[in-house]
Amino acid sequence: MNIVITGGAGFIGSHLCEFLLAKGNRVICIDNLITGSLLNIEPFKDNPKFTFINQDVTKFISIDGNVDWVLHFASLASPVDYLKYPIQTLKVGALGTHNTLGLALAKKARFLLASTSEVYGDPLVNPQKEDYWGNVNCIGPRGVYDESKRFAEAITMAYHRYHGADTRIVRIFNTYGERMRVDDGRVVPNFICQALRGEPLTVYGDGEQTRSFCYISDLVEGMWKLMQVEYHEPINLGNPDEITVLEFAELVSEMVGNRCDIVFKPLPVNDPKVRRPDITRARELLGWQPEVNLRNGLQKTIEYFRSI
Ligand code: UDP
């Protein structure tokens, strides 16, 4: 197949490119490198089936030839990044999704939207099921990301219902692994890099908020399975093993082997208090569930950060 991946030089996008190339597909990666990096595509950039286009997908996208799939993964995805680039965050979720849907329609290609657990905002139910409508502060600092992805889901469903576009929506929960940026600002790279440098780990708030961390290979496998079924409603993909941020800090500290201090910093505004996916739908429809436990995934991720 010929597959267009926006955000293909990012953390998740580059793993997806690599996975799809290994399955023998042609991959056209579009990225403006605002948070993506050419280093992420280095391992496969010389593969003759791989093409890189440096472009902002909020501008009109033109691709020669047949396209079978458009996978829209371009986005600022870390709270630190979307607070730094709020307008770009809104634009890539809104205009970028409109353009990539337009490309899919013009090419009669199938379309997959990378959405997020942030559509649930600071959820009032735990775990989160796909039929939960969420609790989002649209004018809060995180609103730029949450609302851009909620709009992206809305326009994807509208293209499906109105134009008959063959679409998928995946709601991605916290995912980690190799190729996350050292300065990404999210909790996994922050804690690992702080621990490797022997610095104190910065826990925001009292650390009692929870997250559930999914290793990248599990996520990619789930997305591939989603590409094999015809299902248009959103599907949660994530690891349902929930842990508090404080417990996570202790685990990273223990695994890196430096007994690190913990410093408490203010909790960011609207930081969700709990987050855990209900993956019943993915289990039933895709026969998917995560296989990599947190210790094993963290071991690989720590080795990666140690190496760079
Ligand atoms: N967090 C933390 N210390 C850090 C970075 C993040 O305590 O150095 C907390 C953050 O407040 C949140 C959780 O870890 O409660 C996960 O944050 P992250 O930025 O990874 O992504 P989020 O899940 O909020 O989108």
Position 259 pLDDT exceeds 90: no
Task: Compute, in angstroms, the gap from residue 162 CA to the centroid of ligand 1.
Answer: 38
Strand boundaries in 173-237, DSSP class E: 175-176, 201-204, 210-212, 214-215, 234-237
12 — pLDDT class (breaks 50, 70, 90): very high
Cα 11 to Cα 305: distance, rounded to the nearest angstrom: 14
Task: Compute, in angstroms, the gap from residue 263 CA to the centroid of ligand 1.
Answer: 14
Q: Is the CB of 268 under 6 A from ligand 1?
A: yes
Fold adopted by 187-209+242-274+298-307: UDP-galactose 4-epimerase; domain 1 (3.90.25)
In CATH terms, 2-177+213-240+277-291 corresponds, of 3.40.50.10440, 3.40.50.720, 3.40.50.1820, 3.50.50.60, to 3.40.50.720
Cα 119 to Cα 171: distance, rounded to the nearest angstrom: 8
Ramachandran angles phi, psi of 3, nearest 5°: -125, 125
Measured from the Cβ of residue 228, the count of other Cβ atoms closer than 10 Å reads 8
**Substitution site in 186, 212, 270 for ligand 1 pocket (most atoms within 8 Å of beta carbon):** 186
Cα 156 to Cα 159: distance, rounded to the nearest angstrom: 5
> For 92-108, how does the pLDDT look when each residue is reduced to its tens digit (9 = 90+)?
999 999 999 999 999 99
Annotated catalytic residue within 82, 145, 159, 215: 145
> For 109-148, how does the pLDDT look when each residue is reduced to its tens digit (9 = 90+)?
999 999 999 999 999 999 999 999 999 999 999 999 999 9
**Residue-level pLDDT at 183:** 95
Q: Is the CB of 199 under 6 A from ligand 1?
A: no
Ramachandran angles phi, psi of 117, nearest 5°: -65, -15
Q: Is the CB of 174 under 6 A from ligand 1?
A: yes
Task: Compute, in angstroms, the gap from residue 191 CA to the centroid of ligand 1.
Answer: 10
Q: Whose CA is nearest to atom 4 of ligand 1?
A: 187
Q: Is the CB of 245 under 6 A from ligand 1?
A: yes
Q: Is 145 a catalytic residue?
A: yes
CATH 3.40.50.720 positions along the chain are: 2-177+213-240+277-291
Task: Compute, in angstroms, the gap from residue 244 CA to the centroid of ligand 1.
Answer: 10
> For 209-250, how does the pLDDT look when each residue is reduced to its tens digit (9 = 90+)?
999 999 999 999 999 999 999 999 999 999 999 999 999 999
Report the mean per-residue pLDDT for the chain.
Answer: 98
CATH 3.90.25.10 positions along the chain are: 187-209+242-274+298-307
Q: Of how many residues is the chain composed? A: 308
pTM above 0.85, yes or no: yes
Task: Compute, in angstroms, the gap from residue 96 CA to the centroid of ligand 1.
Answer: 26
**Residue-level pLDDT at 258:** 79
Mean of pLDDT values over 192-215: 97
**Residue-level pLDDT at 154:** 98
**Residue-level pLDDT at 109:** 98
Q: Whose CA is nearest to atom 21 of ligand 1?
A: 186
**Residue-level pLDDT at 299:** 98
CA 153 from chain center: how many Å?
Answer: 15
**Residue-level pLDDT at 52:** 98
